[in-house]
Amino acid sequence: MELGSAVPAKVRFADVERAAKRSGLNVMGALHPRLTLAKRLDNGTLILLGTAAEFWPEFTVSPEWSDNRPDPVDRWSTRVIGDMADELGAQAFFPFGGPPYAPFIDWALKSGRTFQSPVGALVHDTVGMMISFRGALHFPIEFEIPLAEASSPCISCPAPCATACPVQALNAYKFYDVDACHRFLDSSDGQSCMTQGCAARLACPLSSGAGRQPEQSAHHMRAFHPE
């Protein structure tokens, strides 16, 4: 998506936060690409957006939810974050639609609020392993952003994520054994993951901060593993 046609004279971090909250999104991180040596970008300000607890009620009354077309969450993200980009004078990036894909993992790690968990998956300082990036806004100017003061929450955590998966599909050695995961989800024992969400991700003590409803997790699991 191209840069918004009307670039505001002065963009503030609070303006982006307010626009995100109106749509059930949270600012999950912010960085200055010039200073962090972020991939693909070398200037301006980048704001990472992810789902908030209010996302699901917003999404389930949207046209994308009810039109029975594929990829409703991605299409919702494209529309909503694209509108935010136009409103605020930014360029929108999304973690889907590739290849090539925007380097969201690099951006997340360089924001100082997202870290690598013991099982390899990303973990966020407020939503744990239920982190779900829906897009990012890149502004052509550098403006003030909050200082990321968090250190990895995994340093002092007993790592329940490392043993929560019944088939060790998420693990520190291979990171993600997709075949083992899919076989388990096809079993009767795997139905709890299908209806409530990934057991390993849910085991992270910070994941409750996402306010994720079981219906939302079930929707994502069906998209990941269709019947």
For residue 116, what are the β-bridge partners?
122
Which backbone phi and psi does 202 adopt, to 5 degrees?
Answer: -70, -25
pTM: 0.92
Tokens matching residue 83: 């509108």
Q: Taking each helix axis from N to C terminus, what angle separates 72-88 and 214-224, rounded to the nearest 10 degrees?
A: 110
**Could you count the other beta carbons within 10 Å of the beta carbon of residue 23?**
22
Question: One digit per residue, pLDDT tens: the chain, 227 residues?
Answer: 344 444 555 889 999 999 999 999 999 999 999 999 999 999 999 999 999 999 999 999 999 999 999 999 999 999 999 999 999 999 999 999 999 999 999 999 999 999 999 998 999 999 999 999 999 999 999 999 999 977 999 999 999 999 999 999 988 777 789 999 999 999 999 999 999 999 999 999 999 999 999 999 999 999 998 87
Rounded CA gap, 62 and 149, in Å? 36
**Rg of the chain, C-alpha, whole Å:** 18
CA dihedral sign of residues 59, 61, 64, 65: positive
Rounded CA gap, 193 and 52, in Å? 21
Is residue 26 helix, strand or coil? Answer: strand
Give kind and range of the element (H or E) at residue 45.
strand 45-51
pLDDT of residue 128: 97
Is residue 171 helix, strand or coil? Answer: strand
Is the Cβ–Cβ distance between 25 and 94 less than 8 Å?
Answer: no
pLDDT of residue 84: 97
Of 43, 175, 46, 44, nearest to 107 by C-alpha is 46
